[in-house]
Structure 1
C-alpha cells in the first residue's frame, strides 16, 4: 500500500534532520549556485533600470546627420524639407523625424528684462523627435508654418529669467527688434551645466527673415532603441546615394549609454554562466550525497520494502529529499541576495525593485537541478531487491 504524500514528506524531513551534516553540505552547495544565479539576475535588472533612468533623464534617443565640408570644392551639401520626406519614406522603424537650423544667439527683451539665449529654427515634429514634453502652452502647428507666424517656444530657464513670475504664454518678446509671441514652454536641458536659455522658432518664419530654406541637420527618433544603430547606418547610405560625392557626419545621442548597455549585458551573461556552473556543481553534490544515502540506508530500504512500501514510495522519498534540500538552499540564497541587494542599492542609490519572476526562475532552476541530480540514485534505490537489501 502506497504512503500518502504527507507521510512521504514527513519521512523525508525526518531523514534529512537525522543527518544534519550531509543535509547541510547539500544545502550549502545549492545555496552557492542559486545565490550566483539570483545575484546575476539582480545585477541585470539594476543595470537595465539604470540605463532606463539615464535615458529618461535626457532627450529621447536620436540619430543625427550633418553635411561635411568639402575641402576641395569649399562647399557642402544642404538639407531641405524634401530630404526629410525622402528619409521618412525609405527608412523603417522611424517614430519621428525633423530638421533644425542653428542660429546665432540674439538679444531678447521683455519689458526691462534682457537675455541672450540660443536660437534654433525647427521643422514640424521637432519636440516629438527629441522627446520633449511641454510644461505649458502648445507646440507648433501646421498653420504656424503655413502662415509664417512669429511664434516661439522657450525653455523654463529663459521663462524664469525674462518674466520673473509672470505667465509667459501669449506675451510678446522682442528679438532684434521683432516681436514674437510665446506659445509654449519646455523643460531646460538637464545636460546644460550653465544654461543660457533656448528659443525655438519655425523654419518657415526663419526662411522669411533670411531667405534661406535649407536645414542644417536632420534628427531621427527610432521606435525602438535597438533600431538606433541600424537607422544611423541606413540613413547615411541613403543620403550618400541622394547626394553623390558628398559626405555626412552621423551621430547618436545615446552612444555612451549603448556602449554601457553592451558592457553590462556581456558581464551579466558571463556571471550567469558562472552561476549556472555553480548550480550544476551543487546538483552534483546532491547526486553524490543521495548515492551515499542510498548505500548507507540499504537495510532500511529493504525493511520498508518488506513491510509493504512500493518502489514508487522509495523513489519518491529520495526525490523529495533532494527537492527539499534544493528548496531550502534556494530560498536561503534568494533571501540573502535580496537583502544584500537592498543594502547595496540604498548605499549607492541604485534603482531596485524585487521581482518575483526572477526569484521564481532561480528557485525553479534549483529544484530542477536537485530533482534531476537525485533521480537516478532514487531510481536505483527503488530497484533494490528487498532480500539482498535486508542482508545489506
Structure 2
C-alpha cells in the first residue's frame, strides 16, 4: 500500500514532549508575571524592612529573562524528547525489523524482547507466538505438498508404465491391462477426493446444523459391514442419542474414516471393532476401539499426519491413502473438538472424539 511520506513517530513524540515542556514553562512564567504585576508596586520594590524607591521596573527586567528561559525550555524539550522517544521506540524498531524479515520469508527469526511486561513486550511476545505458529503451519504445508506430490506421482507413473507396455507389446492381454489401469485410476481419484475433503474441512466451508452422532455411527456401520465381513472383523456398535452441532456430511466422513481405519488395521482373523457414543457434562463423545497389533506411543503420535500409515506403506485393495486420520483431525478441529488416540494394552487403538454439546444441551 503506497502512502505519502510523513513525519516519523520519533519526531512526533519529540515535538509533543517539547511542546508540553514549553507550554508548562510558559504557564509558569505567566504565573510569575502575574505575581509581579500584582504584588510589586509601580517603581517600588519591597525589601525586608524597607522600601527602595526609584528602582528599575521589574516587569521590564523580567521580560528578557523570560524569553531566554522560554527558548531554553524549547531547545531542552526538543533534545530531551528526541532522546526519550528514541529509547521508548527501540522495542518497536526491533518489532518492525522482525516484521520485515517475516515478510521476506524468514519465519525462524524471533524478537525475544527482554525486560518486564509492558505494551511493547506483550506485542513482541504475541508476534513471536504468531511467527512460531506460522512457521509450523508452513512447514506442515510443505510436508503435505511433498507427500501429496509423491502419492499422486505413484499412480501416474504406474499408468505410464502400463501404457508403455501396451504400446511396445501389442499382443499383450489388454483386458488385464485395462483392469490394472482402472484400479490405478480409481486410487488416484480417491486420493484427489480425499485431498478435496481435507481442504474443505480446513477452510470451514460448511453449514452448522443439529446432528446425532449415534445415527451417523449406525449409517457408517451399515456402509462398512460388508468390508468388515470380508476381512473377518466383528462390529459392535452401541450408544445413546448423542446431539452435536456441525456438518452432517463431514461428521459422517469422520465416523466412517475412524471405523474404516479400525477395520483395515486389525487382526488378520477374528478381529473386533467396538464403537460407542456417549454424552458427558459439556461434550459428546464417539469412541472407536479395535483389536490389532501392538503399537508404540511414538508411532501412534504420528498417525494423524498426512500419508502416515501405522503398518507402513503396504498396499492392498483397502490399504487406505494415509489421509483418513488426517481428515478426521481436520474435521474435529473445525468443529472445535478434540481427538485422543492411544494404543490398547492388548493391541490395536482406542480413539476418542469429543465435540461440544449444543448450547441448549450444555445449559441443561
Q: Shorter-chain-normalised TM-score: which range?
A: under 0.3
User: What TM-score do you get using the length of structure 2 for normalisation?
Assistant: 0.24
TM-score normalised by structure 1 residue count: 0.22
Larger RCO (CA under 8 A, 6+ residues apart): 1
